[in-house]
Amino acid sequence: MQNTMELFSKALEIKHASAWAREFNITPEAFSMAKKQGRLSPVLAGNIAIELGEDPEHWIAVAAIEATKDSELLARLKSRVKSWRRL
């Protein structure tokens, strides 16, 4: 898995989005908005990672990178942090 939507897809294999929303005490619209944006927020990514037994720090960082609007800075950061990204 390389992006937060892949993490979300893995979560949806276990439970429906509405069940995750109840568990995290958020509205299901939070997941609808994430799908629309094509990414999870760092908070959602971290919490889903915890529930799936993944490293939450890794997924919080991935979500933060995905949220970046400046493509030049994003490309620079991605080129430097390949060592911590999982393939």
- b vs e for 6-25, b when ≥16 Cβ sit within 10 Å of the residue's Cβ? ebbeebeeeeebeebbeeee
Residue 40 carries which DSSP code?
Answer: -
The pLDDT of residue 69 is 73
Q: State pLDDT tens for residues 38-82.
A: 999 999 999 999 999 999 999 998 898 888 876 677 677 777 766
CB count in 10 Å sphere of residue 45: 29
The pLDDT of residue 70 is 67
Is the pTM higher than 0.85? no
The pLDDT of residue 87 is 44
Q: State pLDDT tens for residues 9-43.
A: 999 999 999 999 999 999 999 999 999 999 999 99
